Chains A and B, each alone.
Chain A
Amino acid sequence: MTAALAQALASYWRRHPLELATLLVGLMVATALWSGVQALNAEARRSYAEAAGLVSGGARIVAADGQRLPLSDYVALRRAGLRVSPVLEGEWRAGDVDLHLVGVEPMTLPRGAAPIGEEAAALPAFVLPPGRAFAAPATIARLAGRPGLPELVASGQVPEGTLLLDIGRAAGLLGLPDRVSYLLAPAGTGVPPAFADRLTVAEGPADDLARLTDSFHLNLTAFGFLSFLVGLIIVYAAIGLAFERRRPMLRTLRALGVPARGLALALLAEILALALLGGAAGMAGGYLMAAALLPDVAASLNGLYGAHVPGRLALDPAWWLAGLGIATFGALAAAGDSLWRAFHLGPLAAARPEAWLGALRRRLVWQAGAAVLLCALALALLLLGGSLLAGFALMGALLLGAALLLPGLLALVLAALGRRAKGPVAHWLFADGRQRLGGLSLALMALLLALGVNVGVGTMVSSFRATFLGWLDQRLGAEIYLSAPDGAAAEVIGAALATTPGVTAALPIGAARSRFAGAPLEIYAFTDDPLYREGWPLLAALDRPWDRVAAGDAVMVNEQMARRAGLAPGDALAIPTATGAWETRVAGVYSDYGNPEAQVLAPVAQVRARWPELELRRLAVRADPASVPALLADLRGREGVDVTDRAGLRASAERVFEKTFAVTLALNTLTLIVAGIALLTGLLTLAEQRLGQLAPLWALGLTRRRLAAIELGQAVALAGLTALAALPLGLAVAWVLTEVINPRAFGWRLPLLLFPLDWARLFLFALATGALAALWPALRLARAAPADLIRRFSDER
C-alpha cells in the first residue's frame, strides 16, 4: 500500500512541476536567508570567542582608569603574594599587515591559560631571542617574507591577525617596556586594599565586545527571521494549494481504504522529504549569501565596535544541522494546517475545493480577531516591556497583526470600490478581486511585510543619515584635527600654531579611560572654546551648562551613558579615576551618534587633576578657511603627525556610516525580492485555475487581450493597495525602531524624518512587482488557444 500511496501522491507533483518548484523555492529562500544570517552571526561570535579564549582562566585585574597599568604594580602584587601573571596587548603593523599582539609571561602563566605549548623544552625558544610567536596559518601566510618578526609557529587556536608571543618581545615591538594591559589571577582573587584606588577586577574585554555587538546580531537575527517568515508564507501557500487541488484524490484514497493515519503519515513523509531537499539547497544559498555579505558585516563590526572578524567563513556541522532543522521545522509549521485537515478528511468529504465565499469570510473573521489580539499585545509590550527583546517582540506583533489585518482591509476597500463601479466588467473586476484574495492574500501579506519593513528601515536609516551628517557638521567645528606622537610634540606644534597667521585657536584634546556601571568609559578632555559651546548639540542641560563645566562643577555626558545609567542633568555621579573617585554632577547630555561607548566631556585641567599622566596628543585647529591648504601642507610635512581636515574626517565618517548599514540595506532588499517571488509564485500557481475562471468571460464576449490587460491591472492594483497599506505600517515600524529599539540597542534616540520620495520609489517598485508577477499569466491568457479555453469549461468547473 505504501508504494501505491507514494506513487499516487508523487504523481501530483509530476503533473504540476511549477507548484513543486514554488514549494522548493519557498523552502530554499526561507532557509537561505535564515541560515545565511546565522552563519554571519556564528562567524562573528566565533571571532569574539577566539579573541576571548586566547588568554583565559580566572579573573582579570585592570587599571581603574582603563589605561594600561605600570609593571611596578605587577611586581608589587607578586610580592604581596598574589599569583598574578601579566599580559600586554596592542596593535602593531608589520609592513602593510595590521596585527594584534598578545604578550604573555610563560613562567607565571596559569597552566592552559594560553596555547603556547606544554613542553618545558619549548620554553627557551619562546622566550629567548629571536623568540617564537604562535599565529593562525592564514596570518603566517600573509606575513611571509616580512623582516623583524619572531619565528612563526602555526596554531589553530590563535585568531587570524593575532600573534601570541612572549611579553618581553611584545613590549619591545609595541614600545611599551614597563606597561601591562591586565593581570591574570586565579578566580575569586580580590584586589588588596592598598591597590583598590587604582586597580579593579574586571570582566574580560571580550564580554564588553559581546555585550556591545549583541544588539547588532539581534538586528541581523530579526531580519533573518522576517525573511524566513516571508519564505514560509510561500511554502504555506504552495502546500495549501496542493492540498486543495489534491482533495478529490485524497478523498478517493480514503474511500479506497487508506486509513486517515496512513494518509497523514504519507503526507508527513512527503513534506519531510521536500523540506530536506529545499533545505539543503537553501543551505547552499545561505552559504553563498553569507560569504557575499561577510565583508560588509566585518566592516560594520569594525566600524561600529572595533571588532576584528576575518573575511572568510568557516562553517561547522552544527550550522548545517541547525539549517536543515529550521527548514524541517518551517515546512512542518507551514504544512500543519493541511496535515490536520488530511487527518480529518473522511471518505465522503466534499471533493470540490472549499467554497470561496464562506472560506474567505471565515478566514477574514479569525484573522481580524488574531490581528486585534496581536495589536493589544504590541500595545502591552510598548507600555510594559523595557528590554531590547521586548522591543523586537513588539515589532513582531505589530508586523504580524498588520499582515493578518490586510486581507480584511483589502476586501473592504474592494467592496466599497465595487459599490461605486459602473459597468458590468468593473463590477466583476472588484468582485473577482475579493474572490482572488483567498488565493493571493498570503503573497500580499508577504509583500506588505517586506514593504512595511523596507519603509521602516529605510526611514530609520535615512533619518539616521540626515541626523548623523547634520550632527557631524556641527561637531566638526574645527578646520583641522591633528594627532602628534606624544603630548610634548603636540605642545610644541600648538605653540607654533598660536603665532601662525590665519590660525585663530589650537585647542588641545586628550582622553582618559575608566569604567562606569560595568562598562568602558572614555573621558574626553577639552579646552573651553566657542567650538564646543556652539557646536555640540545638547539634548538636555541645566542652566549655563558650559559655564558649570568650565568651572569644574560638572561634566557633560553622552546620550548613551545618560540612557544606560539613567542620568539626567543635575544628577550626581562618581567616576573611578587614577587618583580615586571623582564626585561630580551632570551639566548636560549631548548626542554622540555612532559611538558605542559611554563618554564624559570635561575640561583638560579637571581631567589632568585626576589623571596626572594624561597626554594631550591631539589638537583641534581653528583657522581662516583661506589659510587651511597651506596649514595642511605644513603640518603634513612634520614627522609622526597625523593630520585630517574637516572634509576628510566627514568623508571618512560617512564611509563608516554607509558600511555600517550596508548589510541592513542588503537584507532589506533581499526580503523585498523574496516578497516579489512570493507574489510571482502565488500568481503562477493560481494561473492554471485562473484560466478556468476567465474562460466564461471570454465565452461571453471579452477578448483575450482585454482579459489579459484586466489580469495585469488587477495584480498591479492589488500590489498598489498593499503598498498604500504598507506606508502607515512602515512609519509605525520606523517609529518603533527609532523610539524603542535604537535607544535600547545602541543608546541613542533619533528624530524621525520623512522621505516621501523614497516612498514614491517603493510604491513604483510594488506596482512593478505586481506587473512583473502577473506578466507571464497575462501573456499566457492573451495567447491561450480557444480550444484550451473551451477545455477549461469541463475541466475546471
Chain B
Amino acid sequence: MLEIRDIAKTYPTAQGPLAVLRGVSLDLAGGTSLALTGESGSGKSTLLHLAAGLEKADSGHIAIDGAPVTGLDDAGRARLRRETVGIVFQQFNLIPSLDVGRNLAFQARLAGRADPDWQAVLAERLGLAPLLARYPEQLSGGQQQRVAIGRALAARPRLILADEPTGNLDEATGDAVLDLLLALVAESGAALLMVTHSARLAARLDARAHLHAGRIGAEPVA
C-alpha cells in the first residue's frame, strides 16, 4: 500500500546542511498499522510529511497503491492529501472558524466524498454527536483530537498518517483516543502509519520501525 525506498532529506541550517533522513525504506500493507518510533530529531515527522506529500524528498521513491508520490508537483501533492491520505496532527489543527460538524465533514467535502451517514457514525463513535454545533475553542484537548481523527477518517482515505496523535493528551485520554483510532482504522480498512515517542503505544500497533540518526535501525531495548 505504502512503499518507501531509499528516501533522503537534508535541510539547510545556519551550521550547514543537516541530513535528517539518509536512505530510509519501509513498506506498509493495506489494513495494517505501523508505529514509527525514534528520539527527537531522528526524522520521524519528516518521513511522515514526505509520505503525505507535505514536503518533497531529495532522493528516493515513495508510492501509495503503486502511484508515485515523489515527482508530483504542488497541485498533484495537494490532490494526494485531499483524496488519498488522512492526516492527524499532534496539535489537532482544526479550523477555528468552523464548528465541529463542519470540521468533521471538511476534508470529505474537499475530496468530493461527503457521506453524511458515515459522518454520523463517526460522530457517534467518537462521542462528538452532542458537540457538533460547538467551535474548536469550546472543546477540551481530547475532544479536539477526536474531531481531528474523525476529519481524517470521514473521507475514507486509503492511508492514515498520524503524527503523535496523543502527544498532547494525558495518558488516560490518549489511550482512549488511540483505541478509537485503531478501531476505526480497522473498520475502514485503511493503513495506518503513526509516529510516536511511546514504546507502550507503539506496542499496540501491528508493526514497529525505529528511526535513529536518519536511518531505520534496531528497536531500542524497552
Contact = CB atoms under 8 A, between A and B. Distances in A.
Contacts of B55: 786-787, 790
Interface stretch (A40-48, A54-62, A419-427, A601-609): A419-427
B96 A703 contact: no
B106 A424 contact: yes
A435 B107 contact: no
B132 to A, nearest CB: 14
B102 to A, nearest CB: 6
A705 interface: yes
Contact of A693 (B96, B102, B111, B135): B96
A793 B106 contact: no
A791 to B, nearest CB: 11
Nearest to B12: A787
A797 B93 contact: yes
Contacts of A356: 96-97, 137
B97 A701 contact: no
A355 B139 CA distance: 12
A187 B80 CA distance: 94
A699 B148 CA distance: 13
Nearest to B84: A701
A356 B137 CA distance: 8
Contacts of A700: 81-82, 87, 106-107, 110
A434 interface: yes
Interface in B75-97: 75, 78-83, 87, 89-97
Nearest to B111: A701
Given A356-B137, A701-B83, A786-B55, A794 B74 contact: no
Contacts of A427: 98, 102
Nearest to A432: B97
A790 B107 CA distance: 18
Nearest to A785: B55
B54 A696 contact: no
Contacts of B109: 423-424
Interface in A310-357: 355-357
B49 interface: yes
Contacts of A428: 95, 97-98, 102, 106
A689 to B, nearest CB: 11
Given A357-B135, A700-B81, A790 B98 contact: no
Of B74, B91, B93, most buried by chain A (CB within 10 Å of CB) is B93
Contacts of B135: 357
B93 A702 contact: no
A787 B49 CA distance: 9
Contact of A793 (B81, B93, B105): B93
B110 A790 contact: no
Of A699, A700, A703, most buried by chain B (CB within 10 Å of CB) is A700
Of B54, B107, B111, B138, most buried by chain A (CB within 10 Å of CB) is B54
Interface string A767-797: 0000000000000000000110110011001
A410 interface: no
B74 A704 contact: yes
A793 B91 contact: yes
A665 interface: no
B78 A701 contact: yes
A701 B79 contact: yes
Contacts of B79: 701
A183 interface: no
Given A696-B95, A699-B54, A702-B78, A355 B107 contact: no
B48 to A, nearest CB: 10
B13 to A, nearest CB: 11
A695 B78 CA distance: 12
Nearest to B56: A786
Contacts of B83: 701
B49 A790 contact: yes
Nearest to A695: B93
| Chain B, interface residues (CB within 8 Å), range | 35 or more
A99 interface: no
Contact of A435 (B92, B97, B111): B97
A355 B81 CA distance: 29
B171 to A, nearest CB: 21
Interface string A675-697: 00000000000000000010111
Contacts of A698: 78
Contact of A701 (B81, B93, B105, B138): B81
Nearest to A694: B95
Interface in B37-91: 49, 52, 54-56, 74-75, 78-83, 87, 89-91
A724 interface: no
A701 B107 contact: yes
A325 B96 CA distance: 42
B145 to A, nearest CB: 12
Contacts of A432: 95, 97
A21 interface: no
A730 to B, nearest CB: 31
Nearest to B135: A357
A356 B92 CA distance: 17
Contacts of A424: 102, 105-106, 109-110
Nearest to A705: B74
A431 interface: yes
Nearest to A692: B93
B173 to A, nearest CB: 17
A699 B110 CA distance: 12
Interface in B149-181: none
A401 B111 CA distance: 45
A704 B11 CA distance: 21
Contacts of A794: 90-91
B80 to A, nearest CB: 8
Contact of A702 (B90, B91, B94, B110): B110
Given A699-B54, A701-B107, A702-B110, A355 B95 contact: no
A699 B93 contact: yes
Nearest to A435: B97
A188 B143 CA distance: 87
Interface string A97-136: 0000000000000000000000000000000000000000
A425 B110 contact: yes
A703 B98 CA distance: 20
Nearest to A789: B54
Contact of A703 (B56, B74, B91, B105): B74
Contacts of B137: 355-358
Contacts of B56: 786
Interface string B176-207: 00000000000000000000000000000000
A701 B110 contact: yes
Contacts of B90: 793-794
A435 B99 CA distance: 12
Q: Which 5 A-B pairs have CB atoms at the shortest separation, nearest pair first?
A: A701-B82, A424-B109, A797-B91, A696-B93, A435-B97
Interface of A: 355-358, 423-425, 427-428, 431-432, 434-435, 693, 695-705, 786-787, 789-790, 793-794, 797
11 contacts: A356-B96, A356-B97, A357-B135, A424-B105, A435-B96, A700-B87, A702-B78, A702-B82, A702-B110, A790-B54, A790-B55
Given A699-B89, A701-B110, A787-B55, 13 more contacts: A356-B137, A424-B102, A424-B110, A427-B102, A434-B97, A696-B93, A696-B95, A701-B78, A702-B78, A703-B78, A790-B55, A793-B89, A793-B93
Interface of B: 11, 49, 52, 54-56, 74-75, 78-83, 87, 89-98, 102, 105-107, 109-111, 135, 137-138
